[in-house]
């Protein structure tokens, strides 16, 4: 939440900072702003709303450019999303400019103290207090980094701060606690960003910053210390994607591009997981097989769409390994006093690697001595760094706020984890595991087919775009798919959409079915477990009450034909793998539905990607 950019170099800082903000806009789009150092003064512009508004403002009232600058795109927490509360915030002399991501929890006390000392605040934000505190610190030291460290020691809560000082034209300082910040290393230039997308156009060499660290960038140097000025350890890494991955590439929306990339995302997540002897290997796994053999309970913790991947994981882990598995919303986990010990493995799932609820769950679990393994898509992010082990999904950068390829890659990684457990616990023969992997390796073809057959889904979305309520039903792993279908529609189309376990409908929700209500039903593959038959009965029950049924069923399942107003065919896959193909038409439906209503598909209202507040 909130995107931050900092730059020191020889290029136009305005161009670099605005370019970085454009690529970070998915992190928040309530307002945008820049501050640049020009001949010993700060020139700054800020505007409420999307960056287009800031672009227009800069065109109407150009500001002096420089080669050092900072910028911000906001997801509002303290203070309404207006021009006044937009970042950067300046001290009263206009010498210091500050941008911030996070929440400073003790800001009210700090603000009262500053006001009592005669400082005049012009915004309602917590951020502005930092500019004033720095102003005071700089009365007693010339060292900007020391002043920042001293202020950071006084702050509580979560913050990434990026700061520039008109009197030090070739320095930008960053500080982080609980919110993300990475360094981009260039030649004769250096960058700061909430994530690497901020500077990917210029460099793919990045430095991960740790908790409670302050970084000073100049053209040629990067110096990192802790909040007390002691040199700090950092980790350098090379980003394995380039700027083209962070661009729309001819698609109208990032979301459409990301939906289209799903066969690759799944294939890349599966890639290189076999050792020479045919065994499954997870090479980012920092837990030994012996440690994993000790595990007698798994708890999968995540938020939003990632939570639905966690629900799929539960089915796979319990079915394939017989290890008891719970799933828990990250925002609830640490407040219910969960029973954890050394033999509990907490698995967290996060596309961004920065979700605060999930990060707090990890810290809590580790305090209770549980081991934590994270499934994550973002190298260099906080969650993998704070976990005992990590399995990276290889979906590439996800820019659209609504997660799509991130989800499919997460589900794939969950299957890999479950199968790995089955292998090391010896509860499945090698050829059984190899056969499931073989099925998994076929799914990119099935996903591609769903993409190729998307026209019928788009037509359906256009037809139904007047609906104000749509339901989604599923059983078994089709249940999380139903929940995900409903979430996508809610967040993009802003209509009422709800997912239910199909068997649960008769216990109450069936009362909402009325003539013409569209209901999607994900039908499990036919098998020994009667799941398909039971779901077909559920379709009959709702159709008898007037629902307009949109049925997703595998090829050859003719039982559903008499009860389907619309039938979307799915490729045949084993039951547990069905989410990989069944989710795709629901994503396409939601994006098309939102387009029909004229909504911004990539940046839905009130939302931001990477939720770094609790
Ligand atoms: C929905 C969506 C969110 C995220 C959730 C967790 O489309 O994207 O619900 O899934 O905020 O985010 P991560 O996976 O980054 O932890």
- What is the DSSP annotation of 369-410? T-EEEEEES-TT-HHHHTSSEEEE-------SSS-SHHHHHH
Residue 480 sits in the same domain as residue 577 = yes
Decide whether any atom of ligand 1 lies within 6 Å of the 351 Cβ.
Answer: yes
Verify whether residue 609 is a known catalytic residue. yes
Residue 411 sits in the same domain as residue 542 = no
The answer to whether position 488 is within a domain reads yes
Decide whether any atom of ligand 1 lies within 6 Å of the 377 Cβ.
Answer: no
Residue 309 sits in the same domain as residue 218 = no
Cβ pair 484, 302 in contact under 8 A: no
Token pair 């203070």 is found at 79
Give the nearest ligand 1 atom to 358 CA.
Answer: 16
The answer to whether position 500 is within a domain reads yes
Contacts of residue 139, defined as CB under 8 A and 6 or more positions apart, other chains included, come to: none
d(CA 479, CA 488): 14
The last residue of a domain, from among 413, 448, 483: 448
Residue 543 sits in the same domain as residue 471 = yes
Residue 260 sits in the same domain as residue 204 = no
Beta strands in 431-479 (DSSP E): 469-474
492 sits in which H/E element: helix 478-493
- Count of domains for the chain: 3
The answer to whether position 604 is within a domain reads no
For residue 124, give the nearest of 95, 72, 87, 179 by alpha carbon.
87
Contacts of residue 510, defined as CB under 8 A and 6 or more positions apart, other chains included, come to: 541, 542, 545
- Give the pLDDT of residue 231: 96
Give the nearest ligand 1 atom to 305 CA.
Answer: 10
The answer to whether position 606 is within a domain reads no
Strands of the 297-302 sheet, one edge to the other: 325-329, 297-302, 344-350, 371-376, 389-392
Residue 477 sits in the same domain as residue 444 = no
12 sits in which H/E element: none
Decide whether any atom of ligand 1 lies within 6 Å of the 532 Cβ.
Answer: no
The answer to whether position 558 is within a domain reads yes
The answer to whether position 612 is within a domain reads no
Q: What's the CA-to-centroid distance between 319 and ligand 1, angstroms?
A: 26
Decide whether any atom of ligand 1 lies within 6 Å of the 305 Cβ.
Answer: yes
The last residue of a domain, from among 418, 448, 478: 448
Give the nearest ligand 1 atom to 355 CA.
Answer: 16
Substitution site in 26, 306, 313, 609 for ligand 1 pocket (most atoms within 8 Å of beta carbon): 306
* Residue located nearest, by CA, to atom 10 of ligand 1: 305
- Give the pLDDT of residue 111: 96
β-pairing verdict for 325-329 and 344-350: unpaired
* Residue located nearest, by CA, to atom 3 of ligand 1: 304
DSSP 181: -
* Residue located nearest, by CA, to atom 5 of ligand 1: 304
Residue 388 sits in the same domain as residue 420 = yes
Strands of the 548-554 sheet, one edge to the other: 496-501, 469-474, 518-522, 548-554, 566-570
Tokens at residue 425, please? 């616990």
Cβ pair 153, 104 in contact under 8 A: no
DSSP 241: S
Active site residue: 2, 164, 325, 414, which one?
2
Tokens at residue 194, please? 């909430």
222 sits in which H/E element: strand 222-226
CATH of the domain at 235: 3.60.20.10
Active site residue: 47, 314, 488, 609, which one?
609
Cβ pair 159, 142 in contact under 8 A: no
Residue 220 sits in the same domain as residue 352 = no
- Give the pLDDT of residue 248: 87
Q: How far is CA 85 from CA 31, 529, 546, in A?
A: 9, 57, 50
Q: What's the CA-to-centroid distance between 480 and ligand 1, angstroms?
A: 14
13 sits in which H/E element: helix 13-24
d(CA 610, CA 593): 24
Residue 199, exposed/middle/buried by CB under 10 A (0-12, 13-18, 19+)?
buried
d(CA 226, CA 211): 8
For residue 180, give the nearest of 609, 606, 603 by alpha carbon.
609
Residue 170 sits in the same domain as residue 112 = yes
Substitution site in 304, 327, 401 for ligand 1 pocket (most atoms within 8 Å of beta carbon): 304
d(CA 406, CA 575): 21
Q: What's the CA-to-centroid distance between 303 and ligand 1, angstroms?
A: 6
The last residue of a domain, from among 400, 424, 448: 448
Verify whether residue 2 is a known catalytic residue. yes
Give the nearest ligand 1 atom to 404 CA.
Answer: 7
3-class DSSP state of 502: helix
Give the nearest ligand 1 atom to 378 CA.
Answer: 15
Cβ pair 97, 32 in contact under 8 A: no
The answer to whether position 204 is within a domain reads yes
Give the nearest ligand 1 atom to 610 CA.
Answer: 15
Give the nearest ligand 1 atom to 383 CA.
Answer: 16
Q: How far is CA 392 from CA 289, 446, 521, in A?
A: 18, 23, 32
Cβ pair 568, 550 in contact under 8 A: yes
Q: What's the CA-to-centroid distance between 529 and ligand 1, angstroms?
A: 32
3-class DSSP state of 3: strand
Radius of gyration of the chain (CA): 25
d(CA 363, CA 368): 9
Torsion angles phi and psi, residue 266, rounded to 5: -70, -45
3-class DSSP state of 71: strand
Residue 146 sits in the same domain as residue 59 = yes
Contacts of residue 116, defined as CB under 8 A and 6 or more positions apart, other chains included, come to: none
**160-175 CB burial, b ≥16 within 10 A, e <16:** bbbbbbbebbebbbbb
DSSP letter string over 529-576?
T-HHHHHHHHHHHHHTTT-EEEEEEETT--TTGGG-SEEEEE----GG
Cβ pair 593, 469 in contact under 8 A: no
Decide whether any atom of ligand 1 lies within 6 Å of the 348 Cβ.
Answer: no
* Residue located nearest, by CA, to atom 9 of ligand 1: 304
Q: What's the CA-to-centroid distance between 404 and ligand 1, angstroms?
A: 10
Q: What's the CA-to-centroid distance between 67 and ligand 1, angstroms?
A: 35
The answer to whether position 607 is within a domain reads no
Q: What's the CA-to-centroid distance between 608 and ligand 1, angstroms?
A: 9
How many residues would you count in the chain?
614
d(CA 25, CA 3): 7
Q: What's the CA-to-centroid distance between 219 and ligand 1, angstroms?
A: 35
- Give the pLDDT of residue 1: 79
Decide whether any atom of ligand 1 lies within 6 Å of the 611 Cβ.
Answer: yes
Decide whether any atom of ligand 1 lies within 6 Å of the 403 Cβ.
Answer: yes
Torsion angles phi and psi, residue 269, rounded to 5: -70, -25
Residue 115 sits in the same domain as residue 169 = yes
Tokens at residue 17, please? 């900072």
Torsion angles phi and psi, residue 389, rounded to 5: -150, 160
Helix count (H) and strand count (E) of the chain?
18, 24
CATH of the domain at 322: 3.40.50.10490
Number of C-alpha atoms within 13 angstroms, CB side, residue 58? 21
Report how far apart the first and last C-alpha atoms of the chain are (Å, whole number): 11
Residue 59 sits in the same domain as residue 81 = yes
Q: List beta partners, residue 159.
A: 102, 178
DSSP 113: H
Decide whether any atom of ligand 1 lies within 6 Å of the 304 Cβ.
Answer: yes
d(CA 126, CA 103): 7
Q: What's the CA-to-centroid distance between 139 and ligand 1, angstroms?
A: 43
Cβ pair 521, 552 in contact under 8 A: yes
β-pairing verdict for 157-165 and 168-177: antiparallel
Q: Which domain holds residue 78?
A: 3-245
Decide whether any atom of ligand 1 lies within 6 Å of the 382 Cβ.
Answer: no
Token pair 């799932």 is found at 349
Mean pLDDT, contiguous 10-residue spans, the chain (614 residues) = 95 98 92 97 97 97 97 90 96 96 93 96 95 96 96 94 96 94 97 96 95 97 97 92 87 96 95 81 85 96 98 98 97 94 96 95 96 94 93 94 98 97 93 93 97 97 97 98 98 97 94 96 92 96 96 97 97 97 98 97 88 81
């Amino acid at each position: 939440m909130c995107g931050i950019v900092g730059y020191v170099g020889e290029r136009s800082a305005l161009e670099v900072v605005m370019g970085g903000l454009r690529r970070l806009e998915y992190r928040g789009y309530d307002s945008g702003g820049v501050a640049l150092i020009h001949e010993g003064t700060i020139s700054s512009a800020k505007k409420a709303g999307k960056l287009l508004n800031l672009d227009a403002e800069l065109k109407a009232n150009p500001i002096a450019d420089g080669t050092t600058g900072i910028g911000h795109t906001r997801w509002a927490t303290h203070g309404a999303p207006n021009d006044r509360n937009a970042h950067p915030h300046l001290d009263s002399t206009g010498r210091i400019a500050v941008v911030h991501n996070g929440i400073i929890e003790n800001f009210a006390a700090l603000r009262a103290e500053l006001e009592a000392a005669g400082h005049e605040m012009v915004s309602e934000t917590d951020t502005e207090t930092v500019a004033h505190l720095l102003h005071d610190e700089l009365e007693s030291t010339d060292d900007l980094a020391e002043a920042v460290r001293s202020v950071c020691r006084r702050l509580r809560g979560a913050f990434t701060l990026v700061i520039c000082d008109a009197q030090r034209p070739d320095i930008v300082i960053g500080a982080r606690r609980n919110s993300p910040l990475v360094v981009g290393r260039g030649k004769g230039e250096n960058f700061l960003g909430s994530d690497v997308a901020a500077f990917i156009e210029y460099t793919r060499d990045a430095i991960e910053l740790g908790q409670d660290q302050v970084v000073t960038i100049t053209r040629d140097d990067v110096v990192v210390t802790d909040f007390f000025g002691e040199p700090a350890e950092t980790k350098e890494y090379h980003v394995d994607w380039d700027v083209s991955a962070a661009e729309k590439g001819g698609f109208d929306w990032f979301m459409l591009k990301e939906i289209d990339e799903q066969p690759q995302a799944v294939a890349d997540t599966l890639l290189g997981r076999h050792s020479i002897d045919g065994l499954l290997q997870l090479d980012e796994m920092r837990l030994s097989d012996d440690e994993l053999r000790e595990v007698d309970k798994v708890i999968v913790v995540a938020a939003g769409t990632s939570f639905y991947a966690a629900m799929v994981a539960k089915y796979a882990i319990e079915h394939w390994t017989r290890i008891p598995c719970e799933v828990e919303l990250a925002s609830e986990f640490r407040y219910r006093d969960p029973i954890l010990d050394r033999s509990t493995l907490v698995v967290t799932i996060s596309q961004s690697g920065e979700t605060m609820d999930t990060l707090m769950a990890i810290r809590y679990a580790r305090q209770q001595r549980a081991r934590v393994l994270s499934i994550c898509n973002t190298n260099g992010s906080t969650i993998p760094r704070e976990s005992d082990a990590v399995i990276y999904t290889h979906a590439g950068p996800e820019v659209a706020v609504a997660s799509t390829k991130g989800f499919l890659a997460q589900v794939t990684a969950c299957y890999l984890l479950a199968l790995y457990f089955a292998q090391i616990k010896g509860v499945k023969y090698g050829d059984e595991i190899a056969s499931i992997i073989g099925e998994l390796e076929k799914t990119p073809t099935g996903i591609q087919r769903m993409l190729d057959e998307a026209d019928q889904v788009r037509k359906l979305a256009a037809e139904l775009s007047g609906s104000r309520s749509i339901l989604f039903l599923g059983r078994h792993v089709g249940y999380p798919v139903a929940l995900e279908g409903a979430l996508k529609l809610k967040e993009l189309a802003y209509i009422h959409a709800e997912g239910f376990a199909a068997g649960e409908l008769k216990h109450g929700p069936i009362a909402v079915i009325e003539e013409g209500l569209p209901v999607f039903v994900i039908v499990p593959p036919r098998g020994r477990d009667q799941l398909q038959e039971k779901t077909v009965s559920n379709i009959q029950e709702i159709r008898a009450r007037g629902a307009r049924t949109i049925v997703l069923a595998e090829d050859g399942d003719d039982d559903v034909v008499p009860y389907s107003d619309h039938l979307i065919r799915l490729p045949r896959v084993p039951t547990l793998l069905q989410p990989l193909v069944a989710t795709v038409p629901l994503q396409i439906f939601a994006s098309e539905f939102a387009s029909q209503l004229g909504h911004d598909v990539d940046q839905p209202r009130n939302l931001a990607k990477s939720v770094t507040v609790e």
